[in-house]
């Protein structure tokens, strides 16, 4: 049995100043319309949680069920930071594969504060996320800058390469009606923007945004009964954790595992996330038509291009310069515009990526359409070792 994406919907990203529930409900209704079903037809709802004063989305599954109207549908809620959406999809997909339901709705939305993320209030000296802010002052952009510096030192990447990633993604985002930033930029504009965390400038780093995304998942048999016989198929979902020792520094930690006695694993964490999805689907990087990757910064996109196997380590810059990862290139990366164009609405991000996979594989992505797209990969990760990858095929 296969699980398919019957419907996909989003609320446009931006800074709207409204409750996150409104964005999630708008995305859910759009996904239901796209699927051609009613809310009362949904048997299972999974809410990807945001955090509100220590309570996860008030709790998100029930929040959306109540806002849509109580129907007695079963629910679940999950929080895994930026991997929340992928875990929510995994929960719904697994329930369908188990034969416990035929159709499920997955929703994620957020309303973020102005500026960069800061720790939730209170003193929590046993919380590594609290500690990295309070002991090191290590904001998210601070981490992004460290990763960028490492890439420059190890692979020779330049600030001009980082700027080229932003130029590429801004052009794609200018073609996406759901994106927050819809203006093309030049490399000169990127390099003239204010320095935030050397070597990363303001336009190298994604913003925090409001937004929502939702997908309707169904068994292939249920979709066929509705006449959707060529629906996009979810071929794999990976939510793997790191393998000890994790020898690469990961947000929010400020030390790695020791590998004095035990050698590092064959694949570092980020590479392992994509590999697990490939293994489950029985395909490889060469089969990928396009990818949505976690571009918290321009430098991180280049790292992810290598982590998902589109090229060997250190060669993502070459793909970028050759135009291979741009719209119209051999394997476009972030044809949606990525986080560079959307910003972070944390619980919605991985779901929004799957919306883009769906539209591209259907051939309905408009001016940003990837030609003859057959396999799409979406990857990101959440704090504390939450992996997140979804492979979709047509």
Q: Write out pLDDT tens, residues 115-139.
A: 888 877 788 888 888 888 888 888 9
pLDDT of residue 155: 97
| pLDDT beyond 90 at 384 | no
Give the mean pLDDT of 47-72.
Answer: 87
pTM summary value = 0.96
Max CA-CA distance within the chain?
58
In percent, how much of the chain has pLDDT > 90?
A: 84
Q: What is the DSSP string of 67-79?
A: HH-----EEEEE-
pLDDT, tens digit (0-9, with 9 covering 90-100), for 143-173: 999 999 999 999 999 999 999 999 999 999 9
pLDDT of residue 53: 64
Protein fold of 3-115+210-233: Peroxisomal Thiolase; Chain A, domain 1 (3.40.47)
Q: Which residues contact 307 (CB under 8 A, 6 or more apart)?
A: 268, 270, 271, 273, 274, 379
Q: Does residue 57 or residue 228 have the better pLDDT?
A: 228
Overall CATH class of domain 128-206+234-393: alpha beta
Asked, colleague to colleague, whether 3-115+210-233 and 128-206+234-393 share their fold, the answer is: yes
- Average pLDDT over the chain reads 95
Residues 303-312 have pLDDT tens digits of 999 999 999 9
What's the confidence (pLDDT) of residue 54? 65
Closest by Cα among 215, 212, 208, 216 to 12:
212
User: Domain map of the chain by residue range?
Assistant: 3-115+210-233, 128-206+234-393
Task: Give the pLDDT of residue 276.
Answer: 98
Share of the chain above pLDDT 70, in %: 99
């Amino acid at each position: 049995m296969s699980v398919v994406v019957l419907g996909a919907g989003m609320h446009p990203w931006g800074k709207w100043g409204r409750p996150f529930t409104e964005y999630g409900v708008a995305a859910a209704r759009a996904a239901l319309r796209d699927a051609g079903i009613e809310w009362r037809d949904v048997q299972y709802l999974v809410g990807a949680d945001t955090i509100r004063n220590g309570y996860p989305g008030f709790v998100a599954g029930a929040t959306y069920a109540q806002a849509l109207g109580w129907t007695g549908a079963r629910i679940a809620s999950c929080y895994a930071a930026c991997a929340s959406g992928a875990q929510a999809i995994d929960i719904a997909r697994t329930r369908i594969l188990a034969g416990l339901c035929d159709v499920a709705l997955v929703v994620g939305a957020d309303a973020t504060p102005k500026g960069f993320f800061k720790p939730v209030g209170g003193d929590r000296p046993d919380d590594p996320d609290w500690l990295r802010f309070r002991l090191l002052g290590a904001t998210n952009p601070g981490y992004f800058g460290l990763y960028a510096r490492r890439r420059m030192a190890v692979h020779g990447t330049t600030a001009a390469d980082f700027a080229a990633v932003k130029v590429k993604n801004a052009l794609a985002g200018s073609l996406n009606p759901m994106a927050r930033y819809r203006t093309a930029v030049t490399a000169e504009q990127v390099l003239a923007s204010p320095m935030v965390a050397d070597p990363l400038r303001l336009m190298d780093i994604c913003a925090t945004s409001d937004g929502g995304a939702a997908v309707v998942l169904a068994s292939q048999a249920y979709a066929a009964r509705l006449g959707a016989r060529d629906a996009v198929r979810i071929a794999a979902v990976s939510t793997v954790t790191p393998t000890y020792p994790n020898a690469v520094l990961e947000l929010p930690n400020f030390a790695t595992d020791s590998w004095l006695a035990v050698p590092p694993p064959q694949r570092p964490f980020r590479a392992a996330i994509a590999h697990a999805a490939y293994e489950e689907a029985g395909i490889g990087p060469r089969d990928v038509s396009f990818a949505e990757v976690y571009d918290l910064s321009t430098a991180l996109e280049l790292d992810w291009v290598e982590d998902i196997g589109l090229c060997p380590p250190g060669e993502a810059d070459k793909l970028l310069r050759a135009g291979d990862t741009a719209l119209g290139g051999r394997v476009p990366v972030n044809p949606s515009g990525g986080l560079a164009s959307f910003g972070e609405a944390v619980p919605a991000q991985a779901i929004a990526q799957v919306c883009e996979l769906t539209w591209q594989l259907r051939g309905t992505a408009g001016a940003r359409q990837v030609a003859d797209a057959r396999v799409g990969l979406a990857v990101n990760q959440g704090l504390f070792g939450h992996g997140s990858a979804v492979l979709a095929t047509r």
